[in-house]
Structure 1
Amino acid sequence: MPAAPRRTRRRTYAFLGATAALATAAALAAALPAQAHQDQGRHPLPSRYQDVQLLSFNDLHGNLEPPSGSSGRVTELQPDGTTKTVDAGGVEYLATHLRTAREGHPYSITAAGGDLVGASPLLSGLFHDEPTVEALNKLKLDVTSVGNHEFDEGARELARLQNGGCHPTDGCYTDEEFQGADFPYLAANVLDEKTGKPILKPYWIWKKKDVRIGFIGVTLEGTPNIVSADGVKGLTFKDEVETINKYAKVLQRQGVRSIVALVHEGGFPASGAYNYDCDSPGAGAGISGPIVDIAKNVTPAVDALVTGHTHAAYVCTIPDPSGRPRMVTSAASFGRLYTDTTLTYDRFTGDIARTAVKSANHVVTRDVPKAPDMTDLISRWNTLAAPIGNRAIGYISADVNNTGTESPMGDLIADAQLAYGRELDPKTSLALMNPGGVRAGLTYAAKGAEGDGVVTYAEGFTVQPFANTVNLQDFTGAQLVQVLKEQVSGANAAAPKILQPSAGLTYTLDLTKTGADRVVTDSIRLNGAPIDPAATYRVATNSFLAGGGDGFPTLGQGTGDLVGGDDLGALEKYLTAHSSPTAPLAPPAADRIAVVK
């Protein structure tokens, strides 16, 4: 066995205590006349204010290569009020943009808002996101919060991403052992049930000379509702506001007065344009969603919030509990944007001069040189992935889009799971697919040498990267109707999650109504027949839904459970059986749900 390679020296993270030197230096600087600050031209004292650059992004989801289709574009508002789309994203370009942005800024921090890994394309996901962590190290990321997708493979795997080591079942992918993240993952509100303590660091302090800024990282309290039960087993997720306020006091006791919260929870801006003026007056302006209440209740001791989760782009000021405006930002997703925020640090108080804070989102355009080190990284991992990723698994006649209340891609997956379910049990009646599990569509004009209309394993993996199983359960007709109503009520009342139905299941969704009434019960049909409340229906779902995930508790109450193979395998089997080079598969019409607006 060859000798293990020497590990490179890793950064060591320590929590910094208070220092009297900061206040002393600030007071001296303020008291001296201007000419004395030069100290006879040899050792100039710092001015009272120091601009600190905060570069941030969120929800990268392992998208190292430029995302395709709509996932790789952003909407840009033009001066005349029109909009245009701009191709964006790709870590080769993100690296170039961040490195350029840092030029001339000796005080610069790079932070992220979670979901940097998980639900990743094959290039990263096939290797349990080691390539993405390696890329983030090269990007000089300083700190990030955890997101819900950091728990897709459980807390132990998250700890491995932080600390390094070979994968427990797959082993090492290269001759060198995985080094882990050079940056800290912060998980202040994620506690071990047994110890009651955070599973990772709750906060981290950035320091340069006499400037110190604390970072607190949290993910959404509702993570257990949107992650498989195995991924969060043994963990407790606490309230975001209470947790941030708790650790803000901890930082203050250490003399840290400048604080940024990294919050993996987000909002919904009134406009889809990344450069929309969120603070503009008038109807239709502003932002809504969970982050608004969080921002309004987080202690005024926190100076800015970097957020994520909703994949939206916004730069907004939301008043803190004292009524002072506070910056809240999000940079969309997939590395298409980054946010550049200027925090003006007051050496006299040790705090951020809130009135001087400014921020803007910037497009990661593809008209800049690629970062060579990122190109090498992508090439190296692509070489390892190519034998698997380039294998053809089907053929399509046109784009299979993942857009709309009911999407062609969602319907295709549901059809595939129904077909697979009937292989396991011919009595299978229907299949339901959660929209959040459909991560992309299939593009007809494929890239590279694979040819138009060819669906490769890598493309299928991008669509369904979670490695769920296809499960069968029995439900009564009354339970099935309740499942459909749970799409728009209960946990999903504010943000409906419309399940993608297999062929044969039809109904009307009336969006002019509220709550569960939006599902028109009398319209529900299976193969043209009304649902019988007393009858038993065999239903195929993925394992995430079968456990009641995504706010569907009734789906966790099925009987006669049968666990099948992985969901991507079901899609592959369906595409192989229903398409060929001469007879490609046409996209489903997405006409199973009649939507009334």
Structure 2
Amino acid sequence: MKNFSRIATLTTLTLLLAACNQATQVGNKPPQPVDVTVLGLNDFHGNLEPTTFTPIGAAAAIKAGGIEAIGGELADARAANKNTIFVGGGDLIGASPVTSSLLRDEPTVYALSELGMKASALGNHEFDQGLQELLRMQNGGCASNDANKACKFDPNYSGATFKWLGANVEYKANGANPFTPYYVETTADGARIGFIGAVTTETPTIVSPSGIAEINFLDEAESINKYVPVLKSMNVDAIVVLIHEGGTLGTNSPDTYATEGCKTLNTASPIYKIARKVDPSVVAIISGHTHTGYNCLVPDPNGKDRIVIQGEFYGHLLQRLDLTVDKANHRVVSAKAANLVVNYDQRAANNTLDFNMTQLLTTAKAKTDAVKNVFVTNLSVPQIRRGFNATKADDVRDVESALGDVIADAQVFATQDQGTQFALMNPGGIRGNLPGSPSTNGGARLTFGDVFAVQPFSNTMVVMDLTGAQVKAALELIATGANATANKVLQVSEGFSYTIDLRPGITGPRVSNVTFQGQPLGDTTTYRVAMNSFLADGGDAFTPFKQGTNRVLLPGLQDVDALVAYLKAKGSTLDGQIKNRITIIR
């Protein structure tokens, strides 16, 4: 392939798998080798247009991703190898920019279908709008829970031509699976590649619980292994797992997305633990969820190294597997992997963007630009940031953030008529900086598209009564239970403050010095609290919020509306600084 010279050296695993480890084998037939290319896309989040990305070793950032450049990469891969398969690692939709989200992500589904995607793991964000809406996204139709957005891109929305795979999803009532657990693709030269898909078991805690109340999410590895014998009985030539769960590289790891065969995947990462349990017959695991680029080797249950790869997010990278399979004896001969940089700038300069994708994007923009470009306010600072750490990495959730402070203040501002005293905001609901890229000319001009990119979930605002004890119980869950490793620090509005101890091994209460307007929060005192509907439903495992009384759901006020209103009123006075409302002990 002509793009190979510009990517990392491929990780190579010569497998020479025995018949018992790969597939049912009849005799020892003369080999019939077929070269197969698998390209994987994870955590795309409806980013139809390219976004900023800095490749390893590059002197400056580039534009990467976007459906036009992805289409160009696929065209090159298919020209080099007709046995090319395009698949996904989940979170293809959800938490999307305006151009996709205002059209209920239907343009993204159409784009990926037209690009020839065959199958994808389900991601947690596929469930953002609930199970029934996801089934509509798969199967088509206009019976949506948001009629203002559905079928506005195409009045006869026909659904995805690819299959979302969920081997570990089942109905509580009868154990049936609402989705397909696996998919088999037969390539042009007759190789049969089986894919098993799974989604993270933490999904119930990170999407609105009410939307998925009728389904269970089972153990990922056990569910995957359940279908390995099924695919073997079908005499597939290779089995690949697509899973929306991931990991991170170990502390101080020198490895990057471009490192071949890294051995520094954090052993505490969910994907590492899952990979150690997945049947040895699986040749490679395409992962997602953690928005981290890596190309690692993890021992399978027999102790043999196996590829586990993830391609960062937003389509900046495509995961590439190159398999040689023996279709006569149904086995893998060799496997190698790499992360491909999807360089939009280079393709635009070389005129190798996908024309059909340009047309689709133009149509989507025409339908959304009028809303996207509505002026909101002028900031006096270049940018207000969400959580980041000392390495300047964004989307850090165990810190207080300047943008978290602003959003919590906005929710109080927008719900004053409900008697709101303070507000709480989940950091995972803050999807970007404001604006996404800092202004280079001093203050930033904000449009609705900028604000929507920060809060794209369309969560409704809720105001409720909570006792001080209930608020404290929720704050304790920042560092315990389902959040014990994630430490999702709740952002708070002006006048509210607390201290939390995030050091490992702490027993007893982690939260202290909880005050409102300078006074200790009274355990039996009732407070009027605002939050989005995700938190109000107990999202992110903050279940005490479900106990709130005198709840008022404000269907005409979404969280993004609250932020817009606040920015219009206060935008020019915001300084972009963290307000030090939260004290964190590490």
Q: Which amino acid aligns with 1:503?
A: E
Q: Which residue does the alignment assign to 2:49? A: 65
Alignment map for 1:2-13 (pairs within 5 Å): none
Q: How many angstroms apart in 2 are the aligned matches of 1:229 and 1:172?
A: 25
The superposition leaves residues 445-490 of structure 1 with CA deviations (integer Å, 9 ceiling, x where unpaired) of 689xx99622211222111111111112222222222221110111
Q: Which residue does the alignment assign to 2:491? A: 500
Q: Which residue does the alignment assign to 1:595? A: 584
> Is 1:29 the counterpart of 2:30 in the alignment?
yes
Question: Which residue of 142, 145, 164 maps to 1:166?
Answer: 142
Equivalent pair of 1:396/1:444 in contact (CA under 8 Å): no
Could you tell me how far 1:518 is from its partner in structure 2? Answer: 8.1
Equivalent pair of 1:50/1:347 in contact (CA under 8 Å): yes
Q: Tell me, what secondary structure is at the counterpart of 2:313?
A: coil
Q: Tell me, what secondary structure is at the counterpart of 1:142?
A: strand
Could you tell me how far 1:84 is from its partner in structure 2? Answer: 7.0
Structure index of larger Rg: 1
Say which structure, 1 or 2, has more relative contact order (CA 8 Å, 6+ apart). Answer: 2
Deviates more, 1:157-166 or 1:408-417: 157-166
Question: Which residue of 527, 536, 550 maps to 2:526?
Answer: 536
Q: How many angstroms apart in 1 are the aligned matches of 2:184 and 2:433?
A: 41
Q: Which residue does the alignment assign to 1:17? A: none
Q: How many angstroms apart in 2 are the aligned matches of 1:572 and 1:468?
A: 14
Q: Which amino acid aligns with 1:91?
A: I
Equivalent pair of 2:41/2:87 in contact (CA under 8 Å): yes
Could you tell me how far 1:75 is from its partner in structure 2? Answer: 5.5
Q: How many angstroms apart in 2 are the aligned matches of 1:587 and 1:372?
A: 40
Q: How many angstroms apart in 2 are the aligned matches of 1:499 and 1:571?
A: 17
> Is 1:149 the counterpart of 2:148 in the alignment?
no
Q: Tell me, what secondary structure is at the counterpart of 2:290?
A: coil
Q: How many angstroms apart in 2 are the aligned matches of 1:324 and 1:175?
A: 48
Q: How many angstroms apart in 2 are the aligned matches of 1:590 and 1:257?
A: 57
Aligned pair in 2 of structure 1 residues 278, 536: CA closer, same or farther (>3 Å)? farther
Unaligned runs of 5+ in 2: 1-23, 389-398
Aligned pair in 2 of structure 1 residues 431, 378: CA closer, same or farther (>3 Å)? same
Could you tell me how far 1:367 is from its partner in structure 2? Answer: 1.9
Aligned pair in 2 of structure 1 residues 279, 516: CA closer, same or farther (>3 Å)? farther
Alignment map for 1:45-60 (pairs within 5 Å): 48-60=32-44
Q: Tell me, what secondary structure is at the counterpart of 1:506?
A: strand
Q: Which residue does the alignment assign to 1:429? A: 421
Q: Which residue does the alignment assign to 2:245? A: 265
Q: How many angstroms apart in 2 are the aligned matches of 1:445 and 1:217?
A: 34
Equivalent pair of 2:435/2:451 in contact (CA under 8 Å): no
Question: Which residue of 560, 572, 578 maps to 2:564?
Answer: 572
Q: Which amino acid aligns with 2:578?
A: A
Question: Which residue of 340, 344, 349 maps to 1:362?
Answer: 340
> Is 1:473 the counterpart of 2:467 in the alignment?
no
Q: Which residue does the alignment assign to 1:237? A: 217
The superposition leaves residues 204-232 of structure 1 with CA deviations (integer Å, 9 ceiling, x where unpaired) of 10112431111111111221111112321
Q: Which residue does the alignment assign to 2:257? A: 275
Q: Tell me, what secondary structure is at the counterpart of 2:346?
A: coil
Could you tell me how far 1:439 is from its partner in structure 2? Answer: 0.8
Deviates more, 1:252-261 or 1:271-280: 271-280
Could you tell me how far 1:286 is from its partner in structure 2? Answer: 5.0
Q: Which amino acid aligns with 2:340?
A: H
Q: Which residue does the alignment assign to 2:177? A: 198
Q: Tell me, what secondary structure is at the counterpart of 1:561?
A: strand
Could you tell me how far 1:524 is from its partner in structure 2? Answer: 2.7
Q: Which residue does the alignment assign to 1:408? A: 402
Question: Which residue of 102, 109, 126 maps to 2:102?
Answer: 126
Aligned pair in 2 of structure 1 residues 74, 496: CA closer, same or farther (>3 Å)? farther
Q: Which residue does the alignment assign to 1:318? A: 298
Q: Which residue does the alignment assign to 1:105? A: 81
Deviates more, 1:524-533 or 1:483-492: 524-533
Q: How many angstroms apart in 2 are the aligned matches of 1:596 and 1:85?
A: 35
Question: Which residue of 427, 431, 434 maps to 1:439?
Answer: 431
Q: Which residue does the alignment assign to 2:359? A: 376
Equivalent pair of 1:92/1:371 in contact (CA under 8 Å): yes
Aligned pair in 2 of structure 1 residues 225, 376: CA closer, same or farther (>3 Å)? same
Q: Tell me, what secondary structure is at the counterpart of 2:205?
A: helix
Equivalent pair of 2:459/2:533 in contact (CA under 8 Å): yes
Q: How many angstroms apart in 2 are the aligned matches of 1:252 and 1:291?
A: 23
Q: Tell me, what secondary structure is at the counterpart of 1:480?
A: helix
Could you tell me how far 1:361 is from its partner in structure 2? Answer: 0.9
Q: How many angstroms apart in 2 are the aligned matches of 1:444 and 1:135?
A: 24
Deviates more, 1:167-176 or 1:379-388: 167-176
Q: Which residue does the alignment assign to 1:585? A: 574
> Is 1:549 the counterpart of 2:560 in the alignment?
no
Could you tell me how far 1:97 is from its partner in structure 2? Answer: 2.4
Q: How many angstroms apart in 2 are the aligned matches of 1:285 and 1:147?
A: 21
CA RMSD after TM alignment: 2.7
Q: How many angstroms apart in 2 are the aligned matches of 1:172 and 1:527?
A: 47
Q: How many angstroms apart in 2 are the aligned matches of 1:586 and 1:163?
A: 47
Aligned length: 539
Aligned pair in 2 of structure 1 residues 280, 140: CA closer, same or farther (>3 Å)? closer
Q: Give the alignment's TM-score, normalised by structure 1.
A: 0.84
Could you tell me how far 1:175 is from its partner in structure 2? Answer: 6.3
Aligned pair in 2 of structure 1 residues 433, 570: CA closer, same or farther (>3 Å)? same
Aligned pair in 2 of structure 1 residues 175, 533: CA closer, same or farther (>3 Å)? closer
Q: How many angstroms apart in 1 are the aligned matches of 2:378 and 2:257?
A: 38
Q: How many angstroms apart in 1 are the aligned matches of 2:223 and 2:436?
A: 46
Q: How many angstroms apart in 2 are the aligned matches of 1:537 and 1:505?
A: 12
Q: Which amino acid aligns with 2:416?
A: R
Q: Which residue does the alignment assign to 1:225? A: 205
Aligned pair in 2 of structure 1 residues 155, 326: CA closer, same or farther (>3 Å)? same
Aligned pair in 2 of structure 1 residues 507, 526: CA closer, same or farther (>3 Å)? same
Q: Which amino acid aligns with 1:485?
A: E
Equivalent pair of 1:409/1:442 in contact (CA under 8 Å): yes
Aligned pair in 2 of structure 1 residues 275, 413: CA closer, same or farther (>3 Å)? same
Q: What percent of counterpart residues are identical? A: 38
> Is 1:460 the counterpart of 2:460 in the alignment?
no
Equivalent pair of 1:396/1:454 in contact (CA under 8 Å): yes
Q: Which amino acid aligns with 2:521?
A: I
Alignment map for 1:174-193 (pairs within 5 Å): 177-193=156-172
